[in-house]
Structure 1
């Protein structure tokens, strides 16, 4: 197999796909720059420099993650259908199970949305300036589907989780694979959750312990699902579940809120 087939084509395809998510940041750039410039210790940069930083950082992280995934995914025993297809390999059983992936995503995301609403009812002051999960602009919805569903999965699962599984298997000489995989799933899920603290900081809420715990806890739960899907099915299943989770938030949150009001009333 040539270098072009084995490395270059899969890398360019997956990196290009991830860049769609990075570009989905552009419509929200003005608001993001405004938030970032107000953060304590924010550097004195022009708006152009801020924009380049906000786009350049995820683009570089994506570059490294895709490179790691292309190099190590198969060695770690993990599946990416795009990678296999571009290398001319059989996709295997990972091409099925899409319906159950969607059902799992709907169930977990609905539980996350319900937990968020319960926390808002118990701690209303902690969520006073925090928009609900369905209070998302059109630009924000594209961001959730593209950056969340594609770019974050390439970074956290295809990059970080793949590296952790590969390194763990090397250290244990291939023994105790289930333990190694689950450790990688948990670490990647925690990293995924921690990445959402930037939004908390942007709202000036880093002293809000309830909001921080909610952000870490609920996103870790979702991250565990995405990591398990990558490990047991394929990266594309994790991507589908991530994107479907955002769509579920937008649909299920108002329905659950209405149901809660009806029960309480």
Structure 2
């Protein structure tokens, strides 16, 4: 006997609902992976490998983030719902209401908080600079075209894919583990969620170290500066994920890049 694919009333069963949610969120995350691929291809950052086609090198470069995205979406989609963490996109493809009303309601606060975080991180970055915590740039000063062309990867990979990796995947899993350890009866409270937010934020900060290593040697000061500053942003994004939904965290992350992009353009124009 074949297993029934739909419920007796014709609605999708649990497996179909899970697959729909995974597919929708994975598709959102792939937008960021695609933006990363385009950036690598047109910016000259793609490493040259002897006797290997650039297309093969590009595909291999995107393999790791794509696999990690898949794992994060699979895990997060399983863990988020039992602990009350939400995604408007996932709910929509599962028969929920329109995304826009809730997204619009959260947008001013999320974007505004993200912009404030961006300016705060920039100010702290300047503060840390005299302490030797900011590596000297090993690449030529970027042009206005360089700065503007970084916008797609900032907003799509940073704002979408990184939030799926960190908040939807890792934070949901950590909250679920804490919830189960606490008995798994009522919805998790602050004592479970806040450790997950902070730990995820620290992982978010550590995840920026490989890119920093490309600018020069990693010192204790540069590591601490990079981890703590990025973790500060990660705490804000995690809070929005908890209190609102994944898309609010994405908007807050995007807001930070709005501030970064504005400041980068300002520096280039005034230089």
Q: TM-score range by the shorter chain?
A: 0.7 to 0.9
- Counterpart in 1 of 2:129? 120
1:92-241 alignment, distance < 5 Å:
95=103, 96-123=105-132, 126-129=135-138, 137-174=147-184, 177-203=189-215, 205-241=216-252
**Is 2:89 the counterpart of 1:79?**
no
Question: What is the CA–CA distance in structure 1 between the aligned matches of 2:175 and 2:262, rounded to whole Å?
Answer: 35
- Counterpart in 1 of 2:18? 7
Shift of 1:192: 0.8
- Counterpart in 2 of 1:33? 46
Shift of 1:139: 3.2
Write out per-residue CA displacement over residues 7-31 of structure 1, whole angstroms, 9 at most, x where no aligned residue: 1222111111100100111233254
CA contact (8 A) 2:121 2:229 kept: yes
Question: What is the CA–CA distance in structure 2 between the aligned matches of 1:28 and 1:254, rounded to whole Å?
Answer: 18
Question: What is the CA–CA distance in structure 2 between the aligned matches of 1:217 and 1:149, rounded to whole Å?
Answer: 19
Question: What is the CA–CA distance in structure 2 between the aligned matches of 1:99 and 1:207, rounded to whole Å?
Answer: 37
CA contact (8 A) 1:5 1:86 kept: no
Match of 2:81, SS state, is coil
Write out per-residue CA displacement over residues 18-61 of structure 1, whole angstroms, 9 at most, x where no aligned residue: 001001112332543339x7xxxxxx894555422210100000
Question: What is the CA–CA distance in structure 1 between the aligned matches of 2:143 and 2:256, rounded to whole Å?
Answer: 12
How many residues get paired? Answer: 251
Shift of 1:250: 1.9
The structure whose residues are more often helix, as a share, is 1
Question: What is the CA–CA distance in structure 2 between the aligned matches of 1:15 and 1:125, rounded to whole Å?
Answer: 35
Q: 1:74 to 1:124 in 2, by over 3 A?
A: closer
Match of 2:179, SS state, is helix
Match of 1:78, SS state, is coil
TM-score of the two chains, using structure 2 as the length reference: 0.80
CA contact (8 A) 2:132 2:222 kept: no
Shift of 1:217: 1.2
CA contact (8 A) 1:11 1:70 kept: yes
Shift of 1:210: 2.5
- Counterpart in 2 of 1:23? 34
TM-score of the two chains, using structure 1 as the length reference: 0.82
1:243-258 alignment, distance < 5 Å:
243-252=254-263
Question: What is the CA–CA distance in structure 2 between the aligned matches of 1:178 and 1:17, rounded to whole Å?
Answer: 29
Shift of 1:89: 3.4
Match of 2:45, SS state, is helix
1:37-76 alignment, distance < 5 Å:
46=52, 47-76=54-83
Write out per-residue CA displacement over residues 218-237 of structure 1, whole angstroms, 9 at most, x where no aligned residue: 10000000011101110000
